[in-house]
Structure 1
Amino acid sequence: MKSITKISLMGVAVSAILFSCAPQKTEEVVVEVAEMKTPTLTLLWETADSLITNESVLFDDATGTIYVSNIEGQDPLQKDGKGSIAIISKEGKIMNPAWVKGLNAPKGMAIANGKLYVTDIDELVEIDIATSKVSNKWKVEGAQFLNDAAAHNGTVYFTDMNTGKVHAYANGAITTVSEGHASINGIAVGTDGTIYGLDPSGLKKWNADGTSTVVNANVTGGDGLIILGDGNFVASRWQGEIWFANDSTQTLMLDTKAAESNTADIGYNAAEKIVYVPTFFKNKVAAYKLDY
């Protein structure tokens, strides 16, 4: 039995050697790697330059209405009663330059429960959309520079740039969600309720336990924030920059600093991928097609 086993194993070894030396049929495998497209913004239109010191643009997905908050005065903290909310068309025509007036220095806007909520220095102003009338005002305790706003499931979230706080309004009550975020401005809320914000530390998100995590540390000091989905964002910096960003990269898509045209609190039409840019001291809104 021993000799038979030995011969058999030797036969297998010889067969393997012969097989490995024989010419083999091979197939060329071609792997195509998709090249990531560079995100871009292409100018579509600009409004007339009569939206004085426009700070924020909000696109209403439900109606297609575009709201613009106008500070009107030169001082974003002055209570002068000159501020207003305008309405523009999707083609860039100013439909109503003073849809609501008598505000002070309106900035961020959000829609919830048929109301338009606007931050106005140290107050949250509620406007009934159906009647175009201010229906309520809430003084925010300790507020100094209320800025951006966003809504999710009936709750309105808004920031105070000077105090570093994030507030929330729901059912007639204002609470403080988080604090300790110096110079926080832009805010957005994902479909799952996750809050994202922009401050000098970068693009950050709030965790379920109340702590925050920096998603992108390079896009710092932002003004407006758009959630695109799949971990992608668009962020504006007031000085004149708009960035595409995620947790691993960032791309500068628009730089208008040389033209001294600001890029304040941007709005977004998700269905058509259009970014609306309030130019602040240039007194007009510019619309850009986003391609990514």
Structure 2
Amino acid sequence: MSSVLKYIMMITLTIITAHHAFAQTHQLEKLWETDTVVRVPESVLPDFKKGILYVSEIDGNPNAVDGKGGVAKIGLDGKVINLDFTTGLNAPKGLGRFGNELYVADLSEVVVIDINTGKVKNKIAIDSAKALNDITVDDKGIVYVSDSKTKKIHRIEKGKVSTFLTNIGGVNGLKAIGPELYILGGQKFMKSDSKGDLTPITTLSCGGDGLEPVGNGDFLITCWSGHIFYVTADGKIETLLDIQEKKVNTADLAYDPLKHILYVPTFWGKKVMAYKLITTK
């Protein structure tokens, strides 16, 4: 064997070894699931200090203005605390929080709830809205809410509504992190700067629903169809869960970055599930 060939093989082996040294795989270990008593849960928002999960309950038709929806409280152990913490909403979906205010996407308006009492404090109408879906609140208290039917993302600052982005097909999941807004639009995962300039990250195999940062630049992403993905900062995708054949949905999840636990609402499955994220090298 020539010295040149030996050198090439040595370099190739070094590259492969280095790749495997840094490559990580992730898997989920199921911890618990509630009974099927949660009335069509769409989104989960945690309060780790209080040990509470706030869960939006559609309780019926996801497009109906029927006053049947609400917000439930469930413990981090999966035990139901109060299924009627807030009532009288209309197919509520995404949840966000700033201070002691809980923000809920409620079809054509954003409902503001006192997080200590569950009482509705305010309703912010969005005139053009048809199907408000996910909500996120940045560290300055600015609210962003997606409208999946009109392909828009609206911005609410000090009660004033404006349209931040348009023509985002299938827009759903949102997450504000610093000056950036991470967006799921159909199969596309992208981010926007404060001016609305978009940067693509990756393309999923299905329409994205919920997204949560892991804490290292990576994300956990769900598709309503029954998929959970681990997506790295540079756009690589790992499938963590595929329960589509079981007809169990995976909607707008929550994540505990300290304990590495995912909390997943199952929509028509009428329960919330918890999984441990395990990383192996």
Same fold by TM-score greater than 0.5: yes
Give the match for residue 123 of structure 1: 109
Give the match for residue 131 of structure 2: 145
Quote the Cα distance in structure 1 between the aligned partners of 2:206 and 2:225.
12
Paired residues of 2:135 and 2:145 also in contact (CA < 8 A):
yes
User: What is the DSSP-based 3-state SS (H/G/I as helix, E as strand, rest coil) of the residue aligned with 2:25?
Assistant: coil
**Do residues 251 (structure 1) and 234 (structure 2) align?**
no
Q: Which residues in structure 2 correspond to 1:146-161 (within 5 Å)?
A: 146-153=132-139, 154-161=141-148
**Do residues 72 (structure 1) and 59 (structure 2) align?**
yes
Quote the Cα distance in structure 1 between the aligned partners of 2:195 and 2:143.
20
In structure 1, which of residues 262, 266, 272 is the aligned counterpart of residue 259 of structure 2? 272
In structure 1, which of residues 80, 93, 98 is the aligned counterpart of residue 79 of structure 2? 93
- Structure 1 window deviating more from structure 2 (266-275 vs 84-93): it is 266-275
In structure 2, which of residues 67, 71, 80 is the aligned counterpart of residue 81 of structure 1? 67
1:217-269, Cα deviation, whole Å (9 max, x unpaired): 23552000111233311110001000111224101100111111000111112
In structure 2, which of residues 87, 94, 118 is the aligned counterpart of residue 108 of structure 1? 94
User: What is the DSSP-based 3-state SS (H/G/I as helix, E as strand, rest coil) of the residue aligned with 2:133?
Assistant: strand
1:111-138, Cα deviation, whole Å (9 max, x unpaired): 0131000001101000011222000101
**Do residues 223 (structure 1) and 220 (structure 2) align?**
no
Give the match for residue 151 of structure 2: 164
- Change beyond 3 A, Cα 1:176–1:289: same
Paired residues of 2:186 and 2:207 also in contact (CA < 8 A):
yes
Paired residues of 1:53 and 1:72 also in contact (CA < 8 A):
yes
In structure 2, which of residues 209, 216, 225 is the aligned counterpart of residue 239 of structure 1? 225
TM superposition shift of 1:180: 1.1
Paired residues of 1:219 and 1:250 also in contact (CA < 8 A):
no
Q: Amino acid of the residue matched to residue 76 of structure 1? A: P
Q: Amino acid of the residue matched to residue 158 of structure 2? A: N
Please identify which structure carries the higher strand content: 2
Quote the Cα distance in structure 1 between the aligned partners of 2:134 and 2:158.
20
Give the match for residue 10 of structure 2: none
- Change beyond 3 A, Cα 1:220–1:206: farther
1:157-200, Cα deviation, whole Å (9 max, x unpaired): 1100011111122212122111110110001111x221001012
In structure 1, which of residues 23, 47, 68 is the aligned counterpart of residue 34 of structure 2? 47
- Structure 1 window deviating more from structure 2 (32-41 vs 171-180): it is 32-41
Give the match for residue 9 of structure 2: none
- Change beyond 3 A, Cα 1:285–1:36: same
Q: Amino acid of the residue matched to residue 235 of structure 1? A: I
Give the match for residue 196 of structure 2: 210
Q: Amino acid of the residue matched to residue 291 of structure 1? A: I
Give the match for residue 179 of structure 2: 193
In structure 2, which of residues 107, 119, 122 is the aligned counterpart of residue 133 of structure 1? 119
Give the match for residue 4 of structure 2: none
Calculate the aligned-residue CA RMSD, in Å: 1.6
Quote the Cα distance in structure 1 between the aligned partners of 2:44 and 2:261.
12
Q: Amino acid of the residue matched to residue 111 of structure 2? A: V
- Change beyond 3 A, Cα 1:80–1:269: same
Quote the Cα distance in structure 2 between the aligned partners of 1:248 and 1:131.
41
User: What is the DSSP-based 3-state SS (H/G/I as helix, E as strand, rest coil) of the residue aligned with 2:238?
Assistant: strand
TM-score by length of 2: 0.89
Percent of aligned pairs sharing the same letter = 38
Larger radius of gyration: 1
Quote the Cα distance in structure 2 between the aligned partners of 1:248 and 1:128.
38
